[in-house]
């Protein structure tokens, strides 16, 4: 069955000129004059480049099947990270270039996308809890304002935390932008 632009949905993976693109947003537009079209925002699966692209309505498209699996990060091995499938206990090598590793910690569950058995991308959870390994002590009496200071977490990443955070405390961090989300016990 041939698929057309009418079948586009958020998360669909399209094969355009031999490259895979994920649909982030789409909108079917039927202007008062002229033919209908589909306006999309798509992201290149390999490079991460985001572009806006418009297709004529009803145009034939090549959709690809992408398998998303939850895998647990195990360890680093040369130019790869090793993830384990917790149902089959298979170990899967994923090239380091596909992983944003600033907040990747052993035992973290990630969503790995595959196409024809080849890993395409790794999505970390929205937030992770990490231990602060180094930060300067906050100044007494300076706790009432919303000041921040740099802190290094156990993965080696540097984030900004409130002045009252001390070494050894566990903090929740947004993996997208590295922002401090709160303290964890």
- Report the CATH superfamily, name and number, of domain 127-184: Nucleic acid-binding proteins (2.40.50.140)
Q: Give pLDDT tens digits for 84-129.
A: 998 999 999 988 888 877 888 899 999 888 888 888 888 888 899 9
CATH of 3-64, one of 3.75.10.10, 2.30.30.30, 2.40.160.20, 3.90.76.10: 2.30.30.30
User: Per-domain residue ranges for the chain?
Assistant: 3-64, 67-123, 127-184
Quickly list DSSP for 101-127.
Answer: GGG--TT-EEEEEEETTEEEEEE--SE
More confident residue, 130 or 2: 130
pLDDT value for 2: 64
Q: Give pLDDT tens digits for 29-46.
A: 999 999 999 999 998 887
Residue 4's beta-bridge partner residues? 60
Average per-residue pLDDT for the chain: 87
pLDDT value for 96: 86
Q: Taking 60 as the threshold, does the pLDDT of residue 55 lie above it?
A: yes
pLDDT value for 105: 87
pLDDT value for 185: 76
pLDDT value for 100: 76
Which phi and psi (to 5°) does residue 59 adopt? -65, 140
pLDDT value for 1: 52
Quickly name the fold that domain 67-123 has.
Answer: OB fold (Dihydrolipoamide Acetyltransferase, E2P) (2.40.50)
Q: Give pLDDT tens digits for 118-148.
A: 888 888 888 999 999 998 886 655 555 568 8
Two tokens at 111? Answer: 């969503």
């Amino acid at each position: 069955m041939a698929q057309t632009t009418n079948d586009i949905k958020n998360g669909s993976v399209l094969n355009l000129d031999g490259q895979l693109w994920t649909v982030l947003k789409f909108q079917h537009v039927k202007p008062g004059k002229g033919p209908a079209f589909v306006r999309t925002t798509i992201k290149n699966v390999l490079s991460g480049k985001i572009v806006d692209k418009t297709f004529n309505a009803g145009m034939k498209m090549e959709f690809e099947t992408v398998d998303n699996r939850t895998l647990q990060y195990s360890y680093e091995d040369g130019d790869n990270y090793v993830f384990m499938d917790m149902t089959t206990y298979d170990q899967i090598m994923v090239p380091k270039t596909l992983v944003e590793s600033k907040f990747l910690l052993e035992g973290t569950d990630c969503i790995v996308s595959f196409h024809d058995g080849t890993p395409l991308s790794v999505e970390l959870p929205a937030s992770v809890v990490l231990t602060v390994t180094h930060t300067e002590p906050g100044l007494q009496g300076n706790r009432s304002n919303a000041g921040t200071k740099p802190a290094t977490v156990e993965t080696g990443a540097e984030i900004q935390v409130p002045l009252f955070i001390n070494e050894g405390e566990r903090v929740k961090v947004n993996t997208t932008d590295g922002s401090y989300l709160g303290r964890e016990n």
